[in-house]
Amino acid sequence: MPLTVLDHPLIEHKLTELRDRQTGVAKFRDIVREISMLICYEATKKLPMQDAVVNTPVAEARCRTLTGKKIALVPILRAGLGMVDGVLNLLPFAKVAHIGLYRDPEALKPVAYYYKLPPDIDERECFILDPMLATGGTASAAAKYLRNAGVKKISLLTIIAAPPGIEKFFDEHPDVGLYTCAVDESLNEHGYIVPGLGDAGDRIFGT
Ligand code: URA
């Protein structure tokens, strides 16, 4: 399974701060932005490259640059929005698609309420952004929507994942790369990740 768990002291340190219930909204937002940059760094390791030649002040240098830069970030509203700025810092040329999906609190099933994709989405590599992979329902529905729109290459960037979500996601999307900073123990009866960090959207937006 294409699962990458990012194992790095900076990530572990930042994740500890995110988990801490004492961490306030402004700091939480900042850390989500920083940690999203670090996940993006790992998730873009295989972006296609091409040869390039530039002149340094000293000599000609044979180098490489990114090919095409056809990328779309796809935050799942609303918590995914907290990851956009960090990823855009590294990929400023990316377009941003939006997918509005909320999890019905009773049925714990995804309900779609908004989609807005760039018209050339089928030519772009897509990075779905959603900090918490809990049941896997919303991320899976987002990946399905992108596939139906003709997207060929998709990765899912999350901060914390739970085993049931990972399993469901890979059952439905075995070819989508999943990047996470931690795999937690379980879900509680309300579908929250345990120990997790609480409701990521509420902590990002102060609701
Ligand atoms: N969404 C969250 O924000 N937190 C969880 O623990 C699970 C889903």
Residues in a beta bridge with 117? none
* Region class of 201: left (phi > 0), else alpha (psi between -120 and 50), else beta: alpha
Tokens of 169: 């996601």
Q: How confident is the model at residue 1 (pLDDT cuts 50, 70, 90)?
A: low
Distance CA 196, CA 25 (A): 16
What are the C-alpha distances in Å from 9 to residues 15, 27, 181? 10, 19, 11
Q: If you measure from the C-alpha of residue 70 to the centroid of ligand 1, how many angstroms do you get, rounded to a whole number?
A: 30
- The model's pLDDT over 120-130, given as tens digits with 9 standing for 90+, comes to 999 999 999 99
- The model's pLDDT over 135-162, given as tens digits with 9 standing for 90+, comes to 999 999 999 999 999 999 999 999 999 9
Average pLDDT along the chain? 95
Within 10 angstroms of residue 110's Cβ, the number of other Cβ atoms is: 20
* Region class of 157: left (phi > 0), else alpha (psi between -120 and 50), else beta: beta
Mutate to test the pocket of ligand 1, among 32, 101, 166, 197 (most ligand atoms within 8 A of CB): 197
Q: Is the CB of 196 under 6 A from ligand 1?
A: yes
Q: Is the CB of 200 under 6 A from ligand 1?
A: yes
Q: What is the largest CA-CA distance in the chain?
A: 65
Q: How confident is the model at residue 68 (pLDDT cuts 50, 70, 90)?
A: confident
